[in-house]
């Protein structure tokens, strides 16, 4: 799909960075290993995490594909970061390659109006009720769904139990099926993270959680909801079913970074 309107794109990128600032501040306050830093560099948004197991968080975004100079200088300072760009076109991709960047698999940026969730329960789903989540129960379901352990589990728990995060659980009968979170940044809602334990997948938990979060965001007056996903993933398909416009993002890194990932 074509790139989103520039104003929506900038609002989404800024909200994602505010969410990253929240996560980095929570991790620092909890004394997790390494350094966590999210900051603005002119028009760019950057995240740097020194802990090796969390390097996937390192990123630079908000660059103009027609003027890569500032982004390349940021990568000089943050060599492990990936540069995230809207689809750069043939000329933009050539500029990235001529600058010595290596292309990684694309990612998805998904945008929607919270006031208009467009899908009902997915096929094969059971009756699911969504409820505000008690922190310990939320963390247990989320980490089970992500199959996370070690430092990653510590980071996810710390980020999602921070004060501004809205936490929700999907329940069917006496079973907790899935977890999902949301943060609000002005009139933009950032949806994430979300996870369903393997044994409960395919039962409609994430569809119910997505619809519920859109309704909550609309109730708070949000006019834009943003989420990220892997290309071709169940998350991307679920977002599209619920009225999100999905946009490809290209990811670029220095060649040395590819060897460390």
Q: What angle do CA 22, 24, 26 make, to 5 degrees?
A: 70
Question: pTM (2 decimals)?
Answer: 0.92
Question: Quick one: which H or E segment has residue 182?
Answer: strand 175-185
- Indicate the pairing of strand 44-49 with strand 36-41: antiparallel
Provide the 8-state DSSP code for 64: B
Q: Residue 162: which of 56, 30, 59 has the closest Cα? A: 30
Q: What angle do CA 241, 244, 248 make, to 5 degrees?
A: 110
Question: Quick one: which H or E segment has residue 63?
Answer: none
How does DSSP assign 123-139, residue by residue?
A: TTPPP-EEEE--HHHHH
What's residue 237's pLDDT? 95
Instruction: Tell me which of 67 and 61 has the higher pLDDT.
Output: 61
C-alpha distances in Å from residue 124, one per residue of 59, 121, 145, 172, 232 = 37, 8, 20, 14, 20
Q: Where are the alpha helices (DSSP H) in 59-160?
A: 69-77, 89-98, 135-146, 150-160
* Average pLDDT score, the chain: 91
CB distance 125 to 203 below 8 Å: yes
- Compute the average pLDDT of residues 49-76: 92
The end-to-end CA distance of the chain, in Å, is 29
**Phi-psi bin for 232: left (phi > 0), alpha (psi -120 to 50), beta?**
left
Q: Report residue 164's pLDDT band, with 50, 70 and 90 as the boundaries.
A: very high
227 three-class SS:
strand
Model pLDDT for residues 195-226, shown as the tens digit of each residue: 999 999 999 999 999 999 999 999 999 999 99
What's residue 256's pLDDT? 67
241 three-class SS:
helix
- Compute the average pLDDT of residues 3-13: 89
Model pLDDT for residues 120-145, shown as the tens digit of each residue: 555 455 578 898 899 999 999 999 99
Which residue segments constitute the domains of the chain, with CATH numbers given? 6-107+249-260 (no CATH), 129-247 (3.40.630.30)
C-alpha dihedral (52, 71, 186, 167), degrees to nearest 10: -20
């Amino acid at each position: 799909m074509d790139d989103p309107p520039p104003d929506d794109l900038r609002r989404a990128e800024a909200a994602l960075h505010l969410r990253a600032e929240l996560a980095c501040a929570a991790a620092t306050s909890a004394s997790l290993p390494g350094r966590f830093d999210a900051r603005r560099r002119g028009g760019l948004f950057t995240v740097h995490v020194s802990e090796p197991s969390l390097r996937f968080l390192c990123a630079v975004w908000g660059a103009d594909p027609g003027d890569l100079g500032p982004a390349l200088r940021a990568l000089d300072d943050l060599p492990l970061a990936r540069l995230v760009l809207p689809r750069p076109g043939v000329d933009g991709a050539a500029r990235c390659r001529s600058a010595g960047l290596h292309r990684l698999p694309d990612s998805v940026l998904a945008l929607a109006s919270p006031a208009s969730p467009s899908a009902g329960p997915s096929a094969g789903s059971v009756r699911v009720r969504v409820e505000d989540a008690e922190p310990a129960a939320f963390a247990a379901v989320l980490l089970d769904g992500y199959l996370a352990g070690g430092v990653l589990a510590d980071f996810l728990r710390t980020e999602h139990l921070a004060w501004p995060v809205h936490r929700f659980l999907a329940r069917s009968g006496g079973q907790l099926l899935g977890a999902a979170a949301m943060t609000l940044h002005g009139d933009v809602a950032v949806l994430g993270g979300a996870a369903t334990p393997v044994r409960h997948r395919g039962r409609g938990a994430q569809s119910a959680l997505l619809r519920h979060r859109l309704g909550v965001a609309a109730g708070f007056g949000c006019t834009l909801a943003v989420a990220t996903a892997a290309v071709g993933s169940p998350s991307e398909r679920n977002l599209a079913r619920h009225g999100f416009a999905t946009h490809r993002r290209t990811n670029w890194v220095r060649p040395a970074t590819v060897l460390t990932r």
